Chain A
Amino acid sequence: MSAIDSAPQKPYWSWPGVWVGFRRGLPVAPGIMVFGLVVGAAAARHGISGLENFAMNLLICSGIAQLVALEIWPATMTWAAVASLALLAAVIGARMFLMSVSMRPWFGQLPKWQAYLGLFFLTDATWLIATRYHNEGGRDVGAYFGAAIMIMAGWLAAASAGYFLGGLVVDPNRYGLDLVMPVFFAAMLVPLWTGKRRAYGWIVAGVVAVAVQHLVAGWWFIIAGSLAGAFAGAWFDERKR
C-alpha cells in the first residue's frame, strides 16, 4: 500500500522511467494545450512580443496566474504594477506551496540540484502525476521529469501557436475542454483513496473549501480546505491507531 509508511526506498533515475512519465502526461495534454492556446492568444492581444510570450510561458508556466495577470496587464508598466502582478502570482500560486510541501518525502532524498530543478517544473498536472506515481511505490525520478517535460513542451508549443493564431482559436468551452483539468483532478482522487480512514479528511476539506469560497473572495478556499483536510486526516489517522 502506501510506500511512505514502509522503509524509505532510494530514489533513482532511468530512461524507461522518462517514458513512463511521458505516457502519464498524455491524458492531460489536450487540456493543457487548449489552455495554452487561450493564454497565448491573450498575450498577443496585449501587445506582448513573441519572445516575451515564450519567456513568460517558460519561466512562470502557471496558466491561471498568467491569464489573470493578462486581464489586469497595464498599458504602461510601473513599479506599482510590477508589485501587484507579483502579489497576484503569489496568491494564485499559493496552492503550489502545499504541493511542494508534499514533495518532501520523495525529493528530500535526491541531490539538492535535482530536487530544486524538478520543483521548477511543478504544475498542477505534474504534481498529480508525481503523487499518484509515488503512492504506487514508484521512485524513478525519470518519471517525474518525463511528465514534466511532456507537459512543458505541450504548453510552450500551444501557447506559441495561440500567440500567432490569435483569433482563430475556437471557444474551448463548447467542447468541454475547459473542464479537462478539473476532470483529471477528479480521476486522480481514485488512486489517492487508501481506505475509509481517508474519508474524514476529505469531507473536512470539501466542506471547508466550499464554506470559505462563499465567505472569502479569491483563491484562499483551496489553501483553507487543503490544510483543514490534511490536519483532520492526520488527526483521525492517529486516533485510529
Chain B
Amino acid sequence: MTSDLGPAGVWIAIIAMALVTYAVRAGGFLLMGYIPLTKRVRAFLQALPGAVVVAIIVPIAVHGGAAAAAAVIVALIVMAWRKNDLVAVVCGVAVAAAMRAI
C-alpha cells in the first residue's frame, strides 16, 4: 500500500477518481430504474431539485459573509423581477464585488 506507483501513479489516481465520479453521476439514475415511479416517488422527485438548490445556497448565504449573502439575495430578487438569469448573475456578482471593494 505504501510503495511508489511511479509515473503511472498519476494516471491511476485520475482514472480511479473518474470512475468513482461517473458512478455517482450515473448511480442515482440507475437506482431509480429499479424503483417504480409511483405518485409518491414522483412527488419526491418533483420536490428534490428545489431542496438540493436550497441546501447548497442557504449555508453559503449564512456562512459566506455579508457579500455572499447580499449576492444571493440580489440574484433572487432580480430573477423574480426580470426573469433573466444572465442579468440576475451579473447583478449578484456586481453587488458582491462592490461590497468587497469598499
Question: Can you list 7 pairs linking A and B with CB atoms under 8 Å apart?
Answer: A60-B14, A76-B9, A100-B25, A102-B45, A102-B49, A119-B25, A202-B50
- Asked if residues B17 and A116 are in contact (CB atoms below 8 Å), the reply is no
CA distance A227 to B27 in the complex (A): 16
- A60, A173, A177 interface centre (most CB from chain B within 10 Å): A60
| CB contact under 8 A between A52 and B11, given known A104-B32, A128-B53 | yes
- Asked if residues A119 and B26 are in contact (CB atoms below 8 Å), the reply is yes
- Asked if residues A27 and B47 are in contact (CB atoms below 8 Å), the reply is no
Instruction: Tell me what chain A mostly uses at the interface: helix, strand, loop, or mixed.
Output: helix
- Which residues of chain B in 36-56 are interfacial with respect to chain A, using CB atoms and an 8 Å cutoff? 37, 40, 42-56
CA distance A184 to B72 in the complex (A): 9
- Asked if residues A206 and B29 are in contact (CB atoms below 8 Å), the reply is no
- Asked if residues B28 and A97 are in contact (CB atoms below 8 Å), the reply is yes
Q: How far is the CB of A98 from chain B (nearest CB, A)?
A: 6
CA distance A2 to B101 in the complex (A): 42
A153 interfacial by beta-carbon distance below 8 Å: no
Q: How far is the CB of B10 from chain A (nearest CB, A)?
A: 5
CA distance A214 to B101 in the complex (A): 29
- Asked if residues A55 and B14 are in contact (CB atoms below 8 Å), the reply is yes
Q: How far is the CB of A224 from chain B (nearest CB, A)?
A: 8
Q: How many residues on the B side are at the interface (Cβ–Cβ under 8 A)? A: 78
- Asked if residues B50 and A222 are in contact (CB atoms below 8 Å), the reply is no
- Asked if residues B58 and A210 are in contact (CB atoms below 8 Å), the reply is yes
Q: Which residues of A contact B (CB under 8 A)?
A: 2, 4-5, 24, 26-28, 31, 48-49, 52, 55-56, 59-62, 65, 69, 76-83, 85-90, 93-105, 107-108, 115-116, 119-120, 122, 128, 131, 135, 173-177, 179-180, 182-190, 192-193, 198, 201-202, 204-206, 208-210, 213, 221-234, 237-238
- Asked if residues B56 and A185 are in contact (CB atoms below 8 Å), the reply is yes
- Asked if residues B37 and A177 are in contact (CB atoms below 8 Å), the reply is no
- Asked if residues B32 and A77 are in contact (CB atoms below 8 Å), the reply is no
- Asked if residues B20 and A90 are in contact (CB atoms below 8 Å), the reply is yes
Q: Which residues of A contact B102 (CB under 8 A)?
A: none
| CB contact under 8 A between A182 and B60, given known A4-B46, A86-B17 | yes
CA distance A104 to B33 in the complex (A): 7
Q: Which residue of A lies closest to B63 (CB)?
A: A213
- Asked if residues B56 and A230 are in contact (CB atoms below 8 Å), the reply is no
Tell which of B10, B27, B44, B47 touches A198, judged by Cβ atoms closer than 8 Å.
B47
CA distance A202 to B63 in the complex (A): 18
- Asked if residues B85 and A27 are in contact (CB atoms below 8 Å), the reply is yes
- Asked if residues B11 and A69 are in contact (CB atoms below 8 Å), the reply is no
